Structure 1
């Protein structure tokens, strides 16, 4: 497994999985709504969540202006780290997209995972939506994992995990995602925190009422 370190504890790893158990990809819906309930359970600050939403919307718009109809590009931001996925026809286009996203306000760093190939088919993108839903459901069902700590992106059956998590959670989430039908590979684009940091981020238990 290759490991590339990025600023502020960000890690990017690829877990290659056996082809006999895997196969599948989903266009990312940019700028998803940030609801009150989600903000409560998300480990980012509310300000970071709003910044991430703004990054996704602005970057998507600027990429469209720069690229037009060339390529299929998605930008997902977590804690101001922008993950670029999808397909573009050339290395020059890949670099152009990266530069456009890097110049977007509030972006701290960029992880460019664009593939040099023709656009994924609609069938492939539809399959990715299904895989994404299955991975999220698997996290929800797991008793030892907080599902809302992870953002899941799927492209051509490759699952990207983003979040603010411990090494234990990162390993467990990758293991679970790798068991989902249709998953070809699991790539971790995660900010790793200590168990002590995680404990500080957990909401305090309500005080018991005096009897």
Structure 2
């Protein structure tokens, strides 16, 4: 049996989630990556912006490696920031800026991960005092979970925009059926739901 490197394995899962999330923006217009498709405003570019902030906070501030040298952006997690401002991009924030920030966050996070051991201790400044002390291992698992959750949101939002579905480019994990089959399948599920409800 091959011995695995736990840190490398966790980082691989994190990178897969990162790639899946950013891939969901490919081929879409500025409007489509920003348009809110849920009652709470969930949108693709906002999901990327949010997860960039998650990585910069958890792998940066938590371990004494802040990303922002000076003043953080106005959407950063402070008492002064507008509620939910990390979940959408203003008209002045381009796709390139947000995705670029996310890729910079990867580099910053990967630097933290490479430098520290899995049992290295950090302190999450925005958590209650009694829970602030964490390990790098804990934060890696937490951020993987959060990123995968938001990649799942992105899956649904993208499908609502143009019908695209699947995990990642070249690995969609979907049955290879045509549009007519999927329409029939969806109609069948609708019938079953109505029957179960009666």
Please indicate, yes or no, whether the TM-score normalized by the shorter chain is above 0.5.
Answer: no
Normalising by structure 2, we get a TM-score of 0.26
Higher strand share: 1
